[in-house]
Chains A and B, each alone.
Chain A
């Protein structure tokens, strides 16, 4: 049974669908708000988008015609309504720099960002929960103190700097590992077989994933340690020990599962951090994703691209939060979304 089946089995199909539907309805005003905010930012800026091509050689008639083409001659509310309609239907306009629709440009980059974010999420919650649990089990011993210091250090670290340090180490003292420090694929990627392609991308993923995930993993570990310490004191843990279960079973099967429940709620908290971090990490490692795209777009003043990218980042957060809520309902049987 997949996760979806189990959710359905537990809550019944109609309840879940009703809940999903209600959340989707709630997301619509949020999306309109997001689009409005981006519209406001763009229109509060001095000058209009044609100022980007400011060039004394372009005759004013041509600039005027461009304005008409872009709808800039219309009253503001018309522009706004047109903007909202276009964005919500996925029409983000035309990229000035890549000479093709923004939707296509983003369609190429989005999977790469999702790949990087996905592996980082695994690191964040995998490493975070593991380290936090180890700390709690070894409370006040040397392991705990050392890990407390390490997590605090990592938690205070800018991801892009960690990325640079990883590049430094990977290309000097750890160069025998042969880890690539830039891009997503090797030069000969297209010549490789399917397995070769997979390992190639996986190798390129290692460093950006660590750089993007480690600081947040430290945050999760700090939280997990507290949760685990609380759970370990509960009566049912004493009962489990009294039954004669091995310490391993007590911790892994009884304590860990209960300590994990509140940690799931961190997912919603770390998603904006994750996507924001991805933006910088992609620049550090030349990862061809949305962040890199947005950054290049800003440098080239490619506003349609920038606005679409920031819209999509926000949409990803909204979707992510919805998934986090569902996951929360799934791991905590006490919660019912009626």
Chain B
């Protein structure tokens, strides 16, 4: 009757427990994904339970980030429960060829076999969830000072990462800093990718003078160290988050445009592109509908790696005091605030730095995995 066995029979027989705890039978069948699903589900439930007073607080006072956090918590718990009950968790992590042989499915399986990439993705997922839930997770208000008794406390049970020179809880500041860093990195890469793809596509498709001029502009931007250009611009204007995003975007597009140009050059004489041109389509339609979708794969990889680089650049900028301005917490400016007392209060600079390393590392892991998985030359 069916092409494949129903999911329930694969990960072990579902018991009555599965209705409450999805994935438990998969766990019993020693499936890693079932274990992960169950683990994250229980963690989220734990957050909901232990932070119940905070949830009520957050809902009582208006503010978009609190509402968003509660909403994401509810949606995540519901989604994992539903997915678990449908037996999805048992199939997502399995390597059986039941998912079809489309290029996307093949790439998906190659990605799953790339254990480092899966690890990176798990780290990114955790990071995203933590970022969404920050108002519920952060033990203190990140800007709440305690000048009398709370200054420069070493890490302890009350302050897991210690406190800074104004008595603010470092863990809360690092958690809120994550949002700033991730949002800046993401938006900057969106700008860089858009700009780079547009310029590279025009250069590759038009050729001739346009190509020559655009590529000289790429050379020009590439001959500035990114950080030098960044601090020159930010120093002349006033540093603000939108300016940082724009400038990070404007200094990060060159690699993408070289990449896209090369790809466009290699596909623009293919038969299907000639066919599209023969049908009388204009250059915009040929580029947008027929060429670009076929060159986007390396762009996705570049974007993933680019977010990591943008986060590093933002951190360096904020470290120099030219990025995100205090009192808004960003990883770079927290490190800067601890730089002078690195010996007697090592925790201030150490923890946000570790956060940067782990974040950038997970983007690099995912980027590497995507590059290997999306490369169609990998034959199974």
A residues at B contact (CB < 8 Å): 29-30, 33-34, 37-38, 41-42, 44-46, 152-153, 155-161, 164-165, 167-168, 171-172, 271-277, 279-280, 283-284, 294-295, 298-299, 301, 303, 306-307, 309-310, 313-314, 317-318, 321
Contact = CB atoms under 8 A, between A and B. Distances in A.
A298 B322 contact: yes
B346 A168 contact: yes
A284 B346 CA distance: 15
A294 B228 contact: yes
B223 A317 contact: yes
B262 interface: no
A284 B320 CA distance: 9
A279 B353 contact: no
Interface in B322-380: 322, 335, 338-339, 342-343, 346, 349-350, 353, 356-358, 360-361, 364-365
Given A41-B232, A280-B320, A164 B342 contact: yes
B233 A161 contact: no
Contacts of B361: 152-153, 155-156
B357 A156 contact: yes
A165 B350 CA distance: 7
Contact of A158 (B220, B321, B353): B353
Interface stretch (B32-40, B96-104, B185-193, B308-316): B308-316
A29 B216 contact: yes
B6 interface: no
Contacts, number: 135
A276 B226 contact: yes
B364 A280 contact: no
Interface of B: 216-217, 219-220, 222-229, 231-233, 235-237, 308, 312, 315-316, 319-322, 335, 338-339, 342-343, 346, 349-350, 353, 356-358, 360-361, 364-365
Contact of A168 (B225, B319, B343): B343
A307 B229 CA distance: 10
B269 to A, nearest CB: 27
A34 B225 contact: no
B339 A171 contact: no
25 contacts: A30-B219, A30-B223, A34-B224, A37-B220, A41-B236, A44-B236, A46-B237, A155-B364, A156-B364, A158-B316, A158-B319, A160-B319, A165-B353, A167-B342, A168-B346, A274-B225, A276-B228, A277-B227, A279-B228, A280-B319, A294-B228, A298-B235, A310-B229, A317-B223, A318-B223
